Amino acid sequence: MSIIDRIKPEFEIVDKVETIRYLEHGWPTALCRWHAHEEYELHLVVKTSGKVFVGDYVGQFSPGSLFLTGPNLPHNWVTEESSSNLVPLRDMLIQFNHETLKKAFTAFPEFVELDHLLESSRSGIEFKNYDPELAKKHLELIRDSQGMKRLLYFLNFLHELNEWSEKVTLSLTKLNPSLSSSSQHRINEVVNYVIDNYKNNISLVEAAKIANMSESAFSRYFMKTTGNRFSEFVSRIRLGRACVMLYETDKNISTIAFASGYNNLANFNRQFVKLKGMTPREYRKTAYKGLISE
């Protein structure tokens, strides 16, 4: 399945009987799909390696990878096709409700400490170098408890993650939480257009037509709803695909640049350094050493 096939997220409705919902599953599973839901999701990968898709982010996961995704942020974890063996337990995760936390913030001012963490999760967060055994222990305590005890274990884990210094924000695009479903649909239509056409010239005019707006109104709307300029989003998608080709193929850099939608090698290098802080050649060399995960 290609990234284009994954870009249209299935919207998942989560049962709100409890404040915290614990889930776990193996691989392969029907639960592994490009989807979004209103709940926050704290997700630990226990086994296998593969690609993670969070919003417009494309990266790698491995055993011990720990992520937090916010409301309505599409995501998926896809194990590499070479891992054909059945895996009884690949993922441990908890989902928790946004509205419940808002009420808790009102009732308990101390919860404001978590505000930045939860707001950042709207772009997706990876907690780098967090002890996987400790993360698993936290999730097992939540899994094996009920009621108030489960809530306390959950808050303790969330507090530790809030204090963790090695957090990496993933997706450039995040939806405004106040967006209506029709507004989200407009943005998704434009995102689909970019993903389907990133190799070609991306036209702001065409994107505005898809959103049924004037160019100026669309530019303002896209910035307001995602927090990013349209041109930045297009560049992020193109460079994300370039990164995949850099560490998965031995194609030369100029070929990768043109295959990613850049007609000018100098511009490709300049944009790559701006986003990644290193040249494409340096990125490939570092990726081969296994020192970066995207």
Q: For 123-155, how does the pLDDT look when each residue is reduced to its tens digit (9 = 90+)?
A: 899 999 999 999 999 999 999 999 999 999 999
Please state the domain count of the chain: 2
Q: Are residues 9 and 50 in the same domain?
A: yes
* Average pLDDT score over residue span 90-110: 87
Structural domain includes residue 29: yes
Rounded-to-integer distance, Cα 280 and Cα 221, Å: 32
Q: Per the structure block, which two tokens stand in for 225?
A: 């709803």
Rounded-to-integer distance, Cα 77 and Cα 124, Å: 13
Q: Are residues 133 and 221 in the same domain?
A: no
Q: Are residues 33 and 154 in the same domain?
A: yes
Q: Are residues 114 and 25 in the same domain?
A: yes
Q: Are residues 218 and 161 in the same domain?
A: no
pLDDT confidence of 157, banded at 50, 70, 90?
A: very high
Q: Calculate what percentage of the chain has a pLDDT beyond 90.
A: 39
For all residues of the chain together, what is the average pLDDT? Answer: 83
pLDDT confidence of 284, banded at 50, 70, 90?
A: confident
- Contacts by 195-199, CB closer than 8 A, 24 or more apart: 195/3, 195/4, 195/7, 195/237, 196/4, 198/234, 198/237, 198/238, 198/241, 198/260, 198/261, 199/259, 199/260, 199/261
Q: Are residues 208 and 62 in the same domain?
A: no
> Is 60 exceeded by the pLDDT of residue 9?
no
Structural domain includes residue 282: yes
Nearest to 174 by CA among 232, 227, 221: 227
Rounded-to-integer distance, Cα 116 and Cα 127, Å: 15
Residue 12: HSE in the Cβ half-sphere, 13 Å Cα cutoff: 21
pLDDT at 156: 96
> Is 50 exceeded by the pLDDT of residue 293?
no
Q: Per the structure block, which two tokens stand in for 136?
A: 């698993």
> Is 80 exceeded by the pLDDT of residue 84?
no
Rounded-to-integer distance, Cα 80 and Cα 78, Å: 6
Written in H, E and C, the secondary structure of the chain is: CCHHHHCCCEECCCCCCCCEEEEEEEECCCCCCCEECCCEEEEEECCCCEEEEECCEEEEECCCCEEEECCCCCEEEEECCCCCCCEEEEEEEEEECHHHHHHHHHHCHHHHHHHHHHHHHHHCEEECCCCHHHHHHHHHHHHCCCHHHHHHHHHHHHHHHHHCCCEEECCCCCCCCCCCHHHHHHHHHHHHHHHHHCCCCCCHHHHHHHCCCCHHHHHHHHHHHHCCCHHHHHHHHHHHHHHHHHHHCCCCHHHHHHHCCCCCHHHHHHHHHHHHCCCHHHHHHHHHCCCCCC
Whether the bond between 109 and the residue before it is cis, its omega within 30 degrees of 0, is no
Task: Give the domain extent around 143.
Answer: 3-169
Rounded to two decimals, the pTM is: 0.63
Q: Domain of 199: which CATH number?
A: 1.10.10.60
Rounded-to-integer distance, Cα 71 and Cα 175, Å: 9
pLDDT at 289: 57
Structural domain includes residue 294: no
Instruction: Tell me which of 121, 136, 169 is where a domain ends.
Output: 169
Structural domain includes residue 281: yes
Q: Are residues 160 and 230 in the same domain?
A: no
Instruction: Tell me which of 122, 147, 169 is where a domain ends.
Output: 169
Predicted confidence (pLDDT) per residue in 26-50, tens digit: 988 877 776 778 899 999 999 998 8
Q: Are residues 52 and 27 in the same domain?
A: yes
Q: Are residues 102 and 230 in the same domain?
A: no
Q: Per the structure block, which two tokens stand in for 287?
A: 């990726």
Q: Are residues 240 and 141 in the same domain?
A: no
